[in-house]
Structure 1
Amino acid sequence: MEEWVGRIWHKFIVQKSHTEFDHARIEFDEIKKSAGVVFRALGGAPTKRVEAAVPRDYYARRKLLDKISGTKQQISLAWQDETSLRLPQSIAIFDTPQLNKELYLWLVALAAHSPNYFTHWAKDNQAVVTKILAKFPALRPRYRRLATAVLKLRQPVDTLPKSLQPLEQAVIQAIIHPESIIDFPVANYAPQAIYLWLYPNENIKANPFKAAEVDCNEEQFSSLMTHQESQQARKKSERIDEDDTKDSLMVFRLENLFSWSEFSRVNRAEDDTEDDDAQRVAEDLDIITVAKGSRQKTAKLKLDLDLPSAIEDDLPLGKGITLPEWDYKSNQLIPERCLLQPMLPKDSKPLALPASLTTASKKIRQQFQQLQSIKNWQKAQSTGDEIDLTAWLDFHIDSKTSMARDTGLYLRFQNCQRDISTLLLSDLSMSTDAYINNEYRVIDVIKDSMLLFSEALAAVGDPFAVYGFSSVKRHHVRFTLLKNFAESYNDHIRGRILSLRPGFYTRMGAAIRQASNILAEQNQHRKLLLILTDGKPNDIDNYDGRHGIEDTRQAIIAARRLGLVPFCITIDQKADQYLPYIFGSNGFTVIFDPSQLPTKLPQLYHQLTQSSC
Structure 2
Amino acid sequence: PEYLAAAGASRADASQFVSPPDNDSTRSSDTTDASNVMHYPEWDFRRRHYRKNWCALREIEMHPSSEPFVEQTLARYRGLVVALRRTFEALRDGNKRLRHQISGDNIDLDALITAHADAAAGHEMSDQLFTQHRRIDRDIAVMFMVDVSGSTKGWVNEAERESLVLLCEALEILGDRYAIYGFSGMTRKRCELYRIKRFDDDYGADVRARISGIKPQDYTRMGVIIRHLTRLLNTVEARTRLLITLSDGKPDDYDGYRGEYGIEDTRQALLEAKHTGVHPFCITIDHRGHDYLPHMYGAVNYTVIEDVRQLPVRVSDIYRRLTA
- For normalisation by structure 2, the TM-score amounts to 0.77
**Aligned match of 2:71:** 353
Residue among 141, 151, 158 paired with 1:444: 158
| Number of residue-to-residue matches in the alignment | 274
Query: In structure 2, do the counterparts of structure 1 residues 318 and 347 end up closer, same or farther at CA, with 3 Å as the change threshold?
Result: farther
**Aligned match of 2:86:** 366
Residue among 436, 452, 460 paired with 2:174: 460
Q: What CA distance in whole angstroms lies between the structure 2 residues aligned with 1:385 and 1:587?
A: 35
Q: What CA distance in whole angstroms lies between the structure 1 residues aligned with 2:235 and 2:130?
A: 35
Of the two structures, which has the highest relative contact order with CA contacts closer than 8 Å and spacing of 6 or more?
A: 2
**Aligned match of 2:254:** 540
**Aligned match of 2:149:** 429
**Aligned match of 2:210:** 496
Q: What CA distance in whole angstroms lies between the structure 1 residues aligned with 2:87 and 2:67?
A: 26
Residue among 520, 531, 543 paired with 2:245: 531
- Displacement after TM superposition at 1:388 (Å): 9.8
Residue among 375, 399, 419 paired with 2:95: 375
Instruction: State the one-letter code of the partner of 1:369.
Output: E
- Displacement after TM superposition at 1:421 (Å): 1.4
Q: What CA distance in whole angstroms lies between the structure 1 residues aligned with 2:302 and 2:34?
A: 31
Q: Over residues 360-403 of structure 1, what are the superposed CA-to-partner deviations in whole Å (9 max), with x where a residue is unaligned?
A: 2222122111112211246999997579999xx9xxxxxxxxxx
1:333 and 2:47 equivalent? no
Q: What CA distance in whole angstroms lies between the structure 1 residues aligned with 2:203 and 2:296?
A: 32
Paired residue secondary structure (1:516): helix
Query: In structure 2, do the counterparts of structure 1 residues 525 and 594 end up closer, same or farther at CA, with 3 Å as the change threshold?
Result: same
Q: What CA distance in whole angstroms lies between the structure 2 residues aligned with 1:378 and 1:496?
A: 42
Q: What CA distance in whole angstroms lies between the structure 2 residues aligned with 1:524 and 1:388?
A: 32
Residue among 193, 211, 220 paired with 1:506: 220
Judge which range, 514-523 or 351-360, deviates more: 351-360
Residue among 560, 565, 573 paired with 2:287: 573
**Aligned match of 1:594:** 308
Query: In structure 2, do the counterparts of structure 1 residues 413 and 342 end up closer, same or farther at CA, with 3 Å as the change threshold?
Result: same
1:321 and 2:38 equivalent? yes
CA contact (8 A) 1:317 1:343 kept: no
Judge which range, 532-541 or 490-499, deviates more: 490-499
Query: In structure 2, do the counterparts of structure 1 residues 347 and 570 end up closer, same or farther at CA, with 3 Å as the change threshold?
Result: closer
- Displacement after TM superposition at 1:332 (Å): 0.8
Q: What CA distance in whole angstroms lies between the structure 2 residues aligned with 1:388 and 1:332?
A: 53
Q: What CA distance in whole angstroms lies between the structure 2 residues aligned with 1:317 and 1:493?
A: 26
Query: In structure 2, do the counterparts of structure 1 residues 380 and 488 end up closer, same or farther at CA, with 3 Å as the change threshold?
Result: farther
- Displacement after TM superposition at 1:578 (Å): 1.4
Query: In structure 2, do the counterparts of structure 1 residues 347 and 374 end up closer, same or farther at CA, with 3 Å as the change threshold?
Result: closer
Residue among 276, 285, 300 paired with 1:562: 276
Q: What CA distance in whole angstroms lies between the structure 1 residues aligned with 2:108 and 2:158?
A: 52
Q: What CA distance in whole angstroms lies between the structure 1 residues aligned with 2:320 and 2:34?
A: 33
Which residues of 2 match residues 254-269 of structure 1 at below 5 A?
none
CA contact (8 A) 1:350 1:493 kept: no
Instruction: State the one-letter code of the partner of 2:252.
Output: N
Greater strand proportion: 2
**Aligned match of 1:294:** none
Q: Where in structure 1 are there 5+ consecutive unaligned residues?
A: 1-36, 41-315, 394-408, 436-440
CA contact (8 A) 1:317 1:341 kept: no
Q: What CA distance in whole angstroms lies between the structure 2 residues aligned with 1:374 and 1:346?
A: 38
**Root-mean-square deviation over aligned CA pairs:** 2.8
Q: What CA distance in whole angstroms lies between the structure 1 residues aligned with 2:287 and 2:278?
A: 26
Paired residue secondary structure (2:170): helix
CA contact (8 A) 2:61 2:196 kept: yes
**Aligned match of 1:170:** none
Q: Over residues 143-172 of structure 1, what are the superposed CA-to-partner deviations in whole Å (9 max), with x where a residue is unaligned?
A: xxxxxxxxxxxxxxxxxxxxxxxxxxxxxx
- Displacement after TM superposition at 1:349 (Å): 4.7
Which residues of 2 match residues 74-153 of structure 1 at below 5 A?
none
Query: In structure 2, do the counterparts of structure 1 residues 335 and 602 end up closer, same or farther at CA, with 3 Å as the change threshold?
Result: same
Which residues of 2 match residues 128-527 of structure 1 at below 5 A?
318-349=35-66, 352-354=70-72, 355-377=75-97, 413-433=133-153, 435=154, 441-527=155-241
Query: In structure 2, do the counterparts of structure 1 residues 431 and 388 end up closer, same or farther at CA, with 3 Å as the change threshold?
Result: closer
Percent identity between matched residues is 35
Query: In structure 2, do the counterparts of structure 1 residues 317 and 469 end up closer, same or farther at CA, with 3 Å as the change threshold?
Result: farther
